Amino acid sequence: MDEVRKLKKTDPAVAEELLLHLVEVVEAEATALRWKPAPGYFEHLAILRRKRKDYAGEVAILERHERWYPGGGKFAERLRKARALQESER
């Protein structure tokens, strides 16, 4: 996670690519082990997408998180806000 934090500051595009890969890995691991994936990667990816005003991308990753954690607390609120931002773009 330290590397992700550094990349978010120095090269957000690479950080986003890495985070998407990490989400895929933790989802595969969670499926194989019948766990739930660590939510941190989803959150950091959503933050990066919001910063670059990619509201559709933010909604997509938050909906992906929602499938693992229905009604996911702070993520549910973030998803609501992201959907509103996405809608306001139309």
Q: What is the pLDDT of residues 36-68, one digit of tens each?
A: 999 999 999 999 999 999 999 999 999 999 999
69 CB-contact burial (10 Å; exposed 0-12 / middle 13-18 / buried 19+)? middle
CATH code assigned at 42: 1.25.40
**Of residues 41 and 73, more confidently modeled:** 41
pTM over 0.85: yes
How far is residue 84's CA from residue 20's CA, in Å, rounded to a whole number? 23
How far is residue 25's CA from residue 19's CA, in Å, rounded to a whole number? 10
Kindly report the CA angle at 28 between 1 and 36, in degrees rounded to 5? 70
CA neighbor of 46 nearest in space, from 27, 29, 65: 65
Count, in order, helices (H) and strands (E) of the chain.
5, 0
Question: What is the domain range of residue 42?
Answer: 2-89
The count of domains in the chain is: 1
